[in-house]
Structure 1
Amino acid sequence: MRHHALILAASAAAIALTPFAAMAQEISDDVVKIGILNDQSGVYADFGGKWSVEAAKMAVEDFGGTVLGKPIEIVDADHQNKADIASNIAREWYDVQKVDAIMELTTSSVALAVQGLSKEKGKIDIVTGAASTELTGKQCSPYGFHWAYDTHALAVGTGGALVKAGGDSWFFLTADYAFGYSLEQQTGDFVKANGGFVLGAVRHPLATTDYSSFLLQAQASGAKVVGFANAGLDTANAIKQAAEFGIVAGGQQLAALLFTLAEVHGLGLEAANGINLTEGWYWDQNDENRAFGEKFFARTQRMPNTIQVGTYSAVLQYLKAIDAAKTDETKAVAAKLHEMPVSDAFTKTGKVQANGRMAYDMYLFQVKTPAESTKPFDYFKEIATVPAADAYLSVEDSGCDVSAFPK
């Protein structure tokens, strides 16, 4: 009887431990593998690039290096701003390397392509580097998330400020792909809704080096504001050439609709001062931001921008979601990402909407003059807060049919 009782006790203990043992095995392939896919050699190399990869690694380290007792691995690749190359890399990552989630995804055409593939494969993607509202609009995914900013937030922030300040006539220089079209349209709609006018627009190829013909058209339009619906080196080069054409000296204002700390640093305050821009994070806003910025600087010799800190936040929140779900299974983790508030070095007030849009407060900044800057990377002065409710489209207005998402 005693022997029989011992067997029963051992069996009961084994049964009691089984859920916990199973829980510890809920990590596919015994590793959580996150892919950072972005531009590392082209016009957006400073915009996100290898600096976003470094931010992702910081998130893994700050989380503790493991999740549910399993290691975390970051892999990265350069998509060269080409959707077909990005899709091929993503497919190989998912099918061969067993990558669990792909993040960053600079360039809207790339992000839309990879999000479509991720949806097909039942994988999570979190976009921090692309801006198109289509990601959480008509092309939304139950497993797709948009983290750092989007074209609507930029239009409300930068466009709104200039219209209110009297910049009521606009001409756009627009990057000739999905991101540029979206940014031009949404800013233009916002300008017109506030009593302004769009006098014209011209589209330029991605990564062009000669903006002279486009700038001459903008100058001839007589618009009070020349809006750059582009990003990265495209914006920096256009602003540099605008100075050479004397556009600002002639009385027109420049609006950089997607312009980050990285581009200001590359351009210099002499050329960039006075430009209004919208970002979701700036290193010198408060003590916590300064501490994060200094930690990032110690690794990279530069301060991070919204995209890079947004990538840190996306990776960290993904790992928190796995920990909360006790598995890296896609549906369970996606549910936690939708459910959990976002509070980290990037934002203290983030909330993920049903369509995957992470809504948080944005900020309107103005680039300082050289005389106003007192230390390295001291580039911005905060002009206004753009509340999350104003910055981002509601689920109802986004065009995303969340009723079609699996329950």
Structure 2
Amino acid sequence: VLMAMASAIDAAREEIKNANEIDIKTAKEKGLAPSLIDRLMLNDARITAMINSLHDVSKLPDKIGHITQMWKRPNGLLVGRMVVPIGCIAIIYEARPNVTVDAAGICIKSGNTVILRGGSEAFHSNKKLAEIIAGAAEKAGFPKDGIQFVATTDRDAVDVLLKARKCIDLLIPRGGAEFIEKVVSMARVPVIETGAGNCHVYVDDLADLEMAAAIVYNGKVQRPSVCNATKKVILHEKIAARFINMALPKLREAGVDILVHESAANLVPGAKLMSDADLHEEFLDMRLGIIIVPDMVDAIDHVNKYGSHHTDAIITSDYERAMKFLISVDSAAVNWNASTRFTDGGEYGMGAEIGISTQKLHARGPMSVSELTTTKFVVLGSGQVRK
């Protein structure tokens, strides 16, 4: 089924790009930020990435029906856990049309059906992609209506999904913090929260500063509009001036707008001071905040207070400090000497992802096939009765 979907997308590249052009034109007319328009855009490279994602997911192990644990009781009963699908999964998402394909592929691989409700900005792109993959899946033997697309931009449709307890087993929202908070507060169906990414990189005084500069540049510049981009840099006071002198020229040349905490104001003259709201904000553009701290404990405290529990990183050559940071930072992903941009199902070898959970139940971090399953108990007997 997934290979049929991939082939259908490949054969319909021009249709997909034509539909996407309508969304891009509308977005420009509305004056949307360039970073948001970038999230909407589908070119040949991104279409190929969707196809490759389906190929990757198709190669993942099939776990549905497997008994992962089994133990024998004194009375001879065998008690086990069997992997089963969750059921009907609804995805409500904003902007990025590749989610249409990734979400459908992961849901099918994990034995679920899926309802897709994309944002109005990408309506034509999402609708065209959903038509293509649903048709291909049905021809390959997947149940009719197993992939459904909510073909309206009416916001009342979202309210219907949020309250459909007897029809939807799990709802996953993807988007900005305000949107996700609305879904979580209003939903009557189970929700996995995919939080915003106010991602920090802490550069320790025992860091390789050239490595740190490269990691920060990659995390901020490669694709600033995504959740796993680096939004803030925390610098140990002993290396702050050296790092700033080394890293800022290249960042500014790339168009990065530097904001500073009051602790860094003297080292970056003329930079805008961050407010408390700025410290909490997920900068989905070329803004980058700089904070200076006296030690790693203060860095950890700052991350846990202002971060969004998505992805944070430490750059250091000291093993003990790295381990303390990895243990103490309360985020779904914590990196040592690696860019925040790696928090991604594909980069983790999980195939594609349906979202990055920042909650602790039922899944945390990038969610792929395994995270969209549950288990049930199976009990094998030979006539036992309870005494």
Q: More helix per residue: 1 or 2? A: 1
Normalised TM-score (structure 1): 0.30
Normalised TM-score (structure 2): 0.31
